[in-house]
Structure 1
Amino acid sequence: MSVPSHLLADEKAPVCRLEIQPHFDNLSAKEKLYAHHISKASFAGTRVVLRQVSPESEPLFDLILTVARHVGNDFSKIVEACSVTEDEKEKFVEFGSQVLANLGNYKSFGDQKFVPRIPVETFTKIASITPEAAKIWEGIKEQVYQITPEGITLLGYPPEHMSAYYPDSPAITKADIETCGETFVSNGVLVEHTRLKQLKDGNFEMLVASEKTGEGSTYETKDGRKITTVYGDHSEEMKVMADELDGARKSALNDTQEKMMEEYVKSFREGSLEAHKESQRYWIKDIGPTIETNIGFIETYRDPAGTKAYFEGWVAVVNKERTKVFGKLVERAGDFIPKLPWSKEFEKDKFQKPDFTSLEVLTFNSDGIPAGINIPNYDDIRMTLGFKNVSLGNVLNAKSPSERVTFIDGKDLSLFERLRGPAFELQVGLHELLGHGSGKLLQETEKGVFNFDKENPPISPLDGKPVSTYYKVGETWGSVFGATAASYEECRAECVAMYLCPDREILEVFGHTDDTEAAAEDVLYISYLQMARAGLLALEFWDPKTKKWGQAHMRARYSILQCFLSAPDNFVSLDSTTSDHSDLTIHLDRSKIRSHGLKAVEKYLQELHIYKASADVKGGVALYDKMTSVSDTMAKFRDVVMSKKQPRKQFVQANTTLSEGEVTIKEYEATQQGLIQSWLDREEIVGAAKQY
Structure 2
Amino acid sequence: MDTQELKQYLADAPPTVVRLEIEKHFDALNAQQKKYAHFISRACFEGSRIVARQISPESEPIYDFILALHKSGSGDWKALQAKAGISDEDLDHFLQYAAQFLGNGGNYKSFGDAKFIPRCPESAFSALAGTSPEAQTFYDATSGAIFSTDNPSLLHLGYPEQGHMTTYYPNSPDITKVEIDAVSKWMEGKGLLPENTRLVKNKDGSFEIWIASANRTIPTQGGDIGKETTFKIDSGILAGKTITLVYGDYSKEMAAITASIKRAAENADTEVQKNMHNAYARSFENGSIQDFKESQRFWIRDKGPMVECNIGFIETYRDPAGIRGEWEGFAAVVNLERTKAFAGLVEAQPSLVPCLPWGKDFEKDKTFSPDFTSLEVMTFAGSGIPIGINIPNYDDIRQREGFKNVSLGNVMNAKAPNEKIPFIAEKDLDVLRRYRDDALEIQVGLHELTGHGCGKLLQETEPNVYNFDKANPPISPLTGKPITTWYKSGETWGSVFGSWAGAYEECRAELVAMSLSCEFAALKIFGFGDGSVDMDGEAGDVLYASYLSMARAGITSLEMWDPKSRKWGQPHSQARFSILQCFINAEDDFCKLDYQKDDLSDLTVKLDRSKILTAGRKAVDDYLLKIHIHKSTADAEGGIKLFGDMTNVDDFWGKKVRDVVLQNKQPRKVFVQANTFIDEATGEVTLKHYDATPEGMIQSWVDRNV
Aligned-residue offset at 1:66: 0.7
Partner of 1:678: 700
Is 1:669 the counterpart of 2:696 in the alignment? no
Partner of 2:664: 644
Does the 8 Å contact 1:34/1:252 carry over to 2?
yes
Partner of 1:219: 231
What secondary structure, in the 3-state scheme, does the structure 1 residue paired with 2:361 have?
helix
Does the 8 Å contact 1:419/1:518 carry over to 2?
no
For 2:569 and 2:210, how far apart are their aligned partners in 1? 26
- Residues 258-297 of structure 1 mapped to structure 2, 5 A cutoff: 258-297=274-313
For 2:40 and 2:625, how far apart are their aligned partners in 1? 40
Is 1:564 the counterpart of 2:583 in the alignment? yes
Does the 8 Å contact 1:183/1:219 carry over to 2?
no
Does the 8 Å contact 2:19/2:690 carry over to 1?
yes
Amino acid at match of 1:217: T
Task: Say which is worse superposed, 133-142 or 404-413, in terms of deviation.
Answer: 133-142
For 1:402 and 1:648, how far apart are their aligned partners in 2? 14
Amino acid at match of 1:308: R
For 2:182 and 2:519, how far apart are their aligned partners in 1? 46
- Residues 219-618 of structure 1 mapped to structure 2, 5 A cutoff: 219-221=231-233, 222=236, 223-224=238-239, 225-513=241-529, 519-618=538-637
Give structure 1 stretches of 5+ with no counterpart: 687-692
Aligned-residue offset at 1:514: 6.6
Partner of 2:648: 629
Amino acid at match of 1:162: M
Partner of 2:221: none
Does the 8 Å contact 2:524/2:530 carry over to 1?
no
Aligned-residue offset at 1:632: 2.2
What secondary structure, in the 3-state scheme, does the structure 1 residue paired with 2:229 have?
strand
Does the 8 Å contact 1:330/1:354 carry over to 2?
yes
> Given the alignment, which residue of 48, 71, 74 partners 1:72?
74
Aligned-residue offset at 1:73: 2.6
Does the 8 Å contact 1:120/1:141 carry over to 2?
no
Task: Say which is worse superposed, 364-373 or 413-422, in terms of deviation.
Answer: 413-422
Partner of 2:61: 59
Partner of 2:137: 135
Aligned-residue offset at 1:121: 2.0
Partner of 1:619: 638
Does the 8 Å contact 1:56/1:143 carry over to 2?
yes
For 2:276 and 2:232, how far apart are their aligned partners in 1? 34
What secondary structure, in the 3-state scheme, does the structure 2 residue paired with 1:299 have?
coil
For 1:55 and 1:95, how far apart are their aligned partners in 2? 18
Aligned-residue offset at 1:521: 0.3
Aligned-residue offset at 1:518: 8.2
> Given the alignment, which residue of 199, 202, 227 partners 1:199?
202
Amino acid at match of 1:653: Q
For 2:70 and 2:548, how far apart are their aligned partners in 1? 43
Aligned-residue offset at 1:270: 0.5
What secondary structure, in the 3-state scheme, does the structure 2 residue paired with 1:7 have?
coil
Task: Say which is worse superposed, 566-575 or 586-595, in terms of deviation.
Answer: 566-575
Does the 8 Å contact 2:504/2:643 carry over to 1?
yes
Identity of paired residues, percent? Answer: 53
Does the 8 Å contact 1:360/1:394 carry over to 2?
yes
Structure 1, residues 245-278: CA drift from partner, whole Å, max 9, x if none?
1001111100000110110010000101000000
Does the 8 Å contact 2:591/2:606 carry over to 1?
yes
For 2:31 and 2:231, how far apart are their aligned partners in 1? 49
Partner of 1:36: 38
Partner of 2:22: 20
Partner of 1:168: 171
Amino acid at match of 1:618: E
Aligned-residue offset at 1:74: 2.4
For 1:552 and 1:152, how far apart are their aligned partners in 2? 19
Partner of 1:190: 193
Aligned-residue offset at 1:2: 5.0
For 2:372 and 2:141, how far apart are their aligned partners in 1? 47
Does the 8 Å contact 2:521/2:530 carry over to 1?
no
RMSD (CA atoms): 1.3
Structure 1, residues 34-82: CA drift from partner, whole Å, max 9, x if none?
0010000001000111111011101111101110222133222233211
Amino acid at match of 2:31: A
What secondary structure, in the 3-state scheme, does the structure 2 residue paired with 1:181 have?
helix
Amino acid at match of 1:578: K
Amino acid at match of 1:570: D
For 2:371 and 2:140, how far apart are their aligned partners in 1? 50
Amino acid at match of 1:652: V
Partner of 2:222: none
Partner of 1:99: 101
What secondary structure, in the 3-state scheme, does the structure 2 residue paired with 1:231 have?
strand
Give structure 2 stretches of 5+ with no counterpart: 219-227
For 1:128 and 1:180, how far apart are their aligned partners in 2? 45
Does the 8 Å contact 2:15/2:99 carry over to 1?
no
For 2:437 and 2:545, how far apart are their aligned partners in 1? 10
What secondary structure, in the 3-state scheme, does the structure 2 residue paired with 1:184 have?
helix
What secondary structure, in the 3-state scheme, does the structure 1 residue paired with 2:146 have?
helix
Aligned-residue offset at 1:148: 3.1
Does the 8 Å contact 1:78/1:84 carry over to 2?
no
What secondary structure, in the 3-state scheme, does the structure 2 residue paired with 1:321 have?
helix
What secondary structure, in the 3-state scheme, does the structure 2 residue paired with 1:681 have?
helix
Structure 1, residues 594-652: CA drift from partner, whole Å, max 9, x if none?
11010000000000000000000000000000000012222211100000001101100
Structure 1, residues 158-182: CA drift from partner, whole Å, max 9, x if none?
1311111011112212122112111
Aligned-residue offset at 1:569: 1.9
For 2:578 and 2:527, how far apart are their aligned partners in 1? 29
For 2:94 and 2:648, how far apart are their aligned partners in 1? 37
Amino acid at match of 2:104: N
Amino acid at match of 1:75: W
For 1:608 and 1:350, how far apart are their aligned partners in 2? 22
For 1:122 and 1:672, how far apart are their aligned partners in 2? 17
Does the 8 Å contact 2:200/2:208 carry over to 1?
yes
Q: TM-score, normalised by structure 2?
A: 0.95
Amino acid at match of 2:85: S
For 1:307 and 1:518, how far apart are their aligned partners in 2? 45
For 2:409 and 2:196, how far apart are their aligned partners in 1? 29
Does the 8 Å contact 1:73/1:676 carry over to 2?
no
Partner of 1:690: none
For 2:648 and 2:167, how far apart are their aligned partners in 1? 27
For 2:128 and 2:537, how far apart are their aligned partners in 1? 51
For 2:482 and 2:647, how far apart are their aligned partners in 1? 28
For 2:34 and 2:124, how far apart are their aligned partners in 1? 45
- Divergent runs of 4+, >3 A: 514-518
For 1:632 and 1:155, how far apart are their aligned partners in 2? 23
For 1:457 and 1:74, how far apart are their aligned partners in 2? 70
For 1:320 and 1:38, how far apart are their aligned partners in 2? 21
Amino acid at match of 1:274: Q
For 2:314 and 2:192, how far apart are their aligned partners in 1? 16
